[in-house]
Structure 1
């Protein structure tokens, strides 16, 4: 697949902003784009065709971008579709639900063209790998046993779909660090992927406990977080985390990380 084969649905109420995004996508080689000014109209179209990528603004006439993504993630046909948010919004209460629901990229207005190109290429590889999900995969990845820890069911399901696209099929889920530690008492894993902000036992405490008190102290741990504060991030690094990935999670970044970790197992 090439960029010109991607089918993109764009939802942007501003005609001027819509034209800017359309022009940028066209210059990057995207040929198939359908644009809408409202979410419900776009969702109705998605019942007829399944796009590869949906690009949306945050504030739409009939709902927010967060609500749109939530509906997509809960719809069987649209749950796997890559989602880009392009918005000038900076408020946590608007952006955090987008991150937790599994946005592929969040780009600012005005956005950087190179960032858009990078997001498109990452999404394209996700689309390619997802379509090849049931074909022969890397045997080493196929045998990986991964524990996914996140208090958001939507985040867990989205991360599971991303891992499936990479080729990982042995996945166990935990709702927080406390449940993860209980599971690790009876099961062994090749990789743990955890959120940072969770009730009961958070990502930092989970990493510390794995490293000091479990019989799997050397298991690689990837922390996926929307945390921007340097203090907790530094504490996670000190605790012995293998890698930190920012939400929105880059498909290509996670894939490269997993392949790198495999070489060290």
Structure 2
């Protein structure tokens, strides 16, 4: 089967500013993307998604009738069967405002104005999700790997599980916090644990500590995917024995490279 290219992508661009809409479209055209629908509001976007679901939704943070997070949540609620990818282009820098969008599983957050190279990477990441390449490991049969995904956000869990499943991993369990994850770890064998850091009841740091210290398990790789930017806290997590820390949003290729390092080292 021929690999998909940017020309195969269908994109919905949601941008209230007519000038910004034209500018972003021009950048997309330069990347070989020509199947682009442009709208200025969340209501228009939802109507188009219902009729003609795109491969990728690129949206501003603040629309006339809703925020980007509300748009994504509505699509997920109204169309759970759709596996759309999302990208945010916004001048917003506040952590509290961006946190829900990061947790929703956007493939990229680009600033205004954005670097064209960042747009290139986001397009490649979208193609990697839609037309993925299964990972091949020397030490494991990928189809037999057992993975546990731990995250208090259902949307984030679904996004993470989708990324790993496109790589050929078929056996994936999930839990909404560290406490429930421990119940599953005590009952099942896992080759890899992927967890969020900030969760209720038992967070990712406490989960790592319990696995390494209370269970005495130093062998199982534990990867943390997080939006945390507190260097001191991340340093404590590293000292607790986490195998890798990746920031949200993440690219599928970054996950693929990390799996090689963790499982084939």
Q: CA deviation at 1:137?
A: 7.5
Residue 37 (structure 2) pairs with residue 42 (structure 1):
no
1:116 has 2:116 as partner: no
Give 1:251 deviation, angstroms. Answer: 1.7
Q: 1:166 to 1:128 in 2, by over 3 A?
A: same
In structure 2, C-alpha distance between the alignment counterparts of 1:56 and 1:252, rounded to whole Å: 23
After alignment, is 163-172 or 188-197 more displaced?
A: 163-172
- What is the TM-score normalised by the length of structure 2? 0.92
| Alignment correspondent of 1:76 | 80
CA distance in 1, matches of 2:259, 2:142: 8
When the two structures are superposed, what TM-score results if normalisation uses the length of structure 1?
A: 0.92
Q: 1:234 corresponds to which residue?
A: 235
Residue ranges of structure 2 left out of the alignment (5+ in a row) = none
Do 1:140 and 1:262's aligned partners in 2 also have CA atoms closer than 8 Å? no
Is 1:95 paired with 2:123?
no
Instruction: Tell me the secondary structure at the aligned position of residue 141 of structure 2.
Output: helix
Does structure 1 retain, via aligned residues, the 8 Å contact 2:135–2:256? Answer: no
Deviation readout 1:172-228 (Å, 9 max, x if unpaired): 111111111222112110000000001121111111111122253310010000001
**1:77 deviation in Å?**
3.8
TM alignment of 1:207-218, pairs within 5 A: 207-214=208-215, 216-218=217-219
- Note the C-alpha offset of 1:122: 1.1
What's the CA shift for 1:254? 1.2
**Match of 1:179?**
180
Distance 2:135 2:103 in 1: 28
Moved over 4 A (4+): 136-139
| Residues 88 and 109, structure 1, Cα contact 8 Å, conserved in 2 | yes
Query: Structure 1 unaligned runs (5+)?
Result: none
- After the TM superposition, which of the residue ranges 152-161 and 63-72 deviates more from structure 2? 152-161
Residues in 2 aligned to 1:154 and 1:125: alpha-carbon distance in whole angstroms: 20
Structure 1 residues 2-29: Cα deviation after superposition (integer angstroms, max 9, x where no partner): 1111111100000111111111111111
* Partners of 1:190 and 1:36 in 2: CA distance: 44
* 1:76, distance to aligned residue in structure 2 (A): 2.5
| Contact 1:50-1:77 within 8 A present in 2 as well | no
Distance (Å, rounded) in 1 between the aligned partners of 2:217 and 2:173? 16
- For the pair 1:190 / 2:194, whether they are aligned, the reply is no
Q: How many residues align?
A: 258
Tell me, what secondary structure is at the counterpart of 2:117? Answer: helix
Distance 1:240 1:250 in 2: 24
Alpha-carbon RMSD across the aligned residues, in angstroms, is 1.6
Equivalent residue, structure 2, for 1:221: 222
